[in-house]
Amino acid sequence: MNYPTPHINAKPEDFGQTVLMPGDPLRSKYIAEHFLENPVLVNNVRNVQGYTGLYKGVRVTVMASGMGMPSIGIYSRELYEGFGVRNIMRIGSAGAMQPELHLKDLVFAMGASTDSNYQEQFHLRGAFAPICSYEMLHAATEAAEEQGAVYHVGNILSSDFFYDDDEGVPETLNAKKNWMKMGVMAVEMESAALYLNAARLRKNALCVCSISDHLITGESLPAEERETGFAQMMKVALETAVKLEK
């Protein structure tokens, strides 16, 4: 893949080896301005802002992924293949699907189950299990321990559906409840595509999410508390990026 790509107008040297990917372009701007030293805007195609700066002397890039698997699938593929990025960490929010998870807890996705057909493009005769990079997971759990963060490691669900049209469906057939009974911790909308691209291109990927709402209890965080939980998640993500350079 040559650069610039259809969605990223930059050069390989513009990026750090680790890219943090929130969904929202404005969130990437916020991260750059509040957590990085001397951030530089390296991409703004379609207003999907990407910044590279320093954190504890390590070059780190933060760039938005957009919403859903098709979007992060495009950006992660171009970053990995066109710009030589080695590590991509999705950072965002997720909905808890197990009673032992609580609001503001962190979730590290060891695996990403999915209801998407994204993996069909790889022509596999079976169901591939998208998993994270152990190197990144190990670094992240170390960083979480050092930050005193409450975290959980396990399987999540990357869903294509924010709104389920399941009105009137018997409870035993409710799609979310079926994932819950298999021990899936939380639901979000991007990680499986990221993990599949990383596997195909022999790169590293990890999803780190903060629990913003709870599918069982109905609890959800107000905006100001989301920012507090987000700050802790960012500290863990940035410390992980530093560890990956050692």
Across the chain, mean pLDDT equals 93
Mean pLDDT (whole number) for 206-233: 88
**Domain locations along the chain:** 12-244
**pLDDT on residue 177:** 86
Mean pLDDT (whole number) for 34-49: 96
Is CATH 3.40.50.150 what the domain over 12-244 is classified as, yes or no? no
Active-site residue numbers?
213
Q: How do residues 91-139 score in pLDDT, each as one tens digit?
A: 999 999 999 999 999 999 999 999 999 999 999 999 999 999 999 999 9
Mean pLDDT (whole number) for 80-96: 97
pLDDT at position 63 over 50: yes
How far CA 111 is from CA of 11, 45, 70, 119, 227, in Å, comes to 31, 31, 19, 14, 26
DSSP label at 215?
Answer: T
> What SS3 state is found at 23?
coil
Q: How do residues 4-18 score in pLDDT, each as one tens digit?
A: 999 999 999 999 999
- C-alpha to C-alpha distance for 83 and 81, rounded to whole angstroms: 6
Chain position carrying tokens 């190197």:
135
**pLDDT on residue 169:** 56
The identity of residue 162, as a single letter, is F
Confidence of residue 82 (pLDDT cuts 50, 70, 90): very high
The identity of residue 163, as a single letter, is Y
Q: For CA atoms 201, 206, 211, 216, give the dihedral sign.
A: positive
* Cis-peptide, bond into residue 70, ω within 30° of zero: no
pLDDT at position 66 over 90: yes
- C-alpha to C-alpha distance for 86 and 108, rounded to whole angstroms: 19
